[in-house]
Chain A
Amino acid sequence: MTGITLAGTQVTLESRADESLTATLYRAGYAMRIACKRGGCGLCRVHVDQGQISYNAHVCESVLTPEEREQGITLACRAVPTSDVTISVPEEGRLRCVAPAFTRYALREQSGAGKGAAQAGGRDWVID
């Protein structure tokens, strides 16, 4: 189990085994700009500020160059965290909370019954 912290927020989402960054975000009620979900279009570029990721399928160099990888840029649809990570979604990635009920549920579930209520009861996780 690894944590995905969304840079600039108080939110840390727990990633399930083999779950891509976008899969965790969408499960937790967030959305961002994604298209092909298969590592081909490159629209879901995010920056890994801290931590390590691996890929659940081959991402070709014409989509994500070695230089970009070196700089910490990754494709959220194909990247699977292998340690706790902090990610920054660029402005054009338009990360937002589209289903607050599921965000609340995910945060409550991962902090244990009741324990996370205070955090989940706040609005820190709402990214407009």
Chain B
Amino acid sequence: MGVLRLGYVHVRVTDMEAAKRHYINTMGFYPMLEVGNKLYLKGWDEFDHHSIVLEEGGVGVAKVGFKVAKPDDIDVIESKSRTFGVETQRMTKGDNPDVSDGLRITLPSGHIVEVYHDQTYVGSLVGTVNPQLFPRELVGIGAPRIDHALLGCDDVNTTEKFFIDVFDFYQVERLIPDLDHQDCSLATWLSSGNRGHDIALIQGENYDKKLHHLAFQLEGWSDILKAGQIMSIDDVPIDMGPTQHGITRGKTIYYFDPSGNRNEVFADGYVAQRDRPTMLWTADQVARGINAINRTLNETFTTALT
């Protein structure tokens, strides 16, 4: 089975109280545990203990976690990581609260990723027996779960190859300079399941270790607009949208948390399949790929990272 999905995103925030107002009151995530300068949160439709970790001090991404199906998958990934030539370190149960033992890997891009096979089971807010459509008392946007993360890389090709070779991700979409230079990835969208992406990478100078955004999953255009309305009420800075991506066909708003980390609400998009051909985007059409309706690239989307 290998990697099931993106499990958690651990981000740094400058002000925990402001971050709580955003991730709890605006996004509607639920605080599960607070230890020292870290807060662990989950969405209402997630079953495991947490999917977002906030750590006070700095900005950007501290690490990203991927859940695998079974303990043996850790061994396979460890072996493949060594063959690939990246630094790994075993982690023990409890290194991260409520997370099993696993493996910590330093990507070619410098990002830290962790793979684990178990998290404390908490259950969703609607349960598993005759579940309601959603909890009656959602807060703010009421995002059900995280969707994906986009990381910055000085060199997308190498880190993309890591995810394909070691994690057995498949390539859903890809941005290249032009059709005569198909070997060069300027950006890539990679999936392990049926989402358009679990992880994406974008190329830029001094982008290693950086976060472009983490995304929350919503359903449908009307929930995207509703999210935008709540962002307006809560004075959340907007980067782009509401609009629809050409890439993945997801509906979207990009916005910033109180520390300047970009977030996205992402809805729908097509069902990705392992045997679906990779969609190619050429650089001259990137504006339509990112923003299919407006078709003009803004001055911040590819340059503001934390």
Contact partner, A58, options B14, B239, B256, B306, Cβ 8 Å: B14
Quick one: closest B residue to A32, CB to CB?
B299
User: Please, which residues of chain B bring their CB within 8 A of the CB of A34?
Assistant: 300
A40 to B300, CA, bound (A): 13
Among residues 284 to 299 in chain B, which have CB atoms less than 8 Å away from a CB atom of chain A? 299
- Quick check: is A94 within 8 A (CB to CB) of the other chain? yes
Residues of B within 8 A of A (CB-CB), count: 22
| Segment of B53-61, B90-98, B244-252 engaged in the interface with chain A | B53-61
Fill in one digit per residue for B255-295: 1 if any A CB lies within 8 Å of its CB, else 0.
Answer: 01111111000000000000000000000000000000000
Q: A33-B300, A43-B303, A60-B14 are in contact. Are A38 and B58 (CB under 8 A)?
A: no
Chain B residues, Cβ within 8 Å of A37:
237, 256, 260
Across the interface, name the chain B residue whose C-beta is closest to A43. B304
**A41, A43, A63: most-surrounded residue (chain B CB, <10 A):** A41
| A60 x B257 contact (CB < 8 A) | no
Separation in Å of the B15 CB from the closest CB of chain A?
6
Q: Is A9 interfacial (CB 8 A cutoff)?
A: no
In the complex, whether B305 has a CB less than 8 A from a CB of chain A is yes
Give Cα A40–Cα B18 distance, bound, in whole angstroms: 13
Question: Is A39 an interface residue when CB atoms closer than 8 A count as contact?
Answer: yes
A positions within 8 Å CB-CB of B? 33-41, 43, 57-60, 62-63, 94
Chain B interface (Cβ < 8 Å from any Cβ of A): 14-15, 18, 57-60, 237, 239, 256-262, 299-300, 303-306
**Seed contacts A41-B262, A41-B300, A60-B14; 11 additional CB < 8 Å A-B pairs:** A36-B239, A36-B262, A39-B14, A39-B259, A39-B260, A40-B14, A40-B256, A40-B259, A40-B306, A57-B15, A62-B58
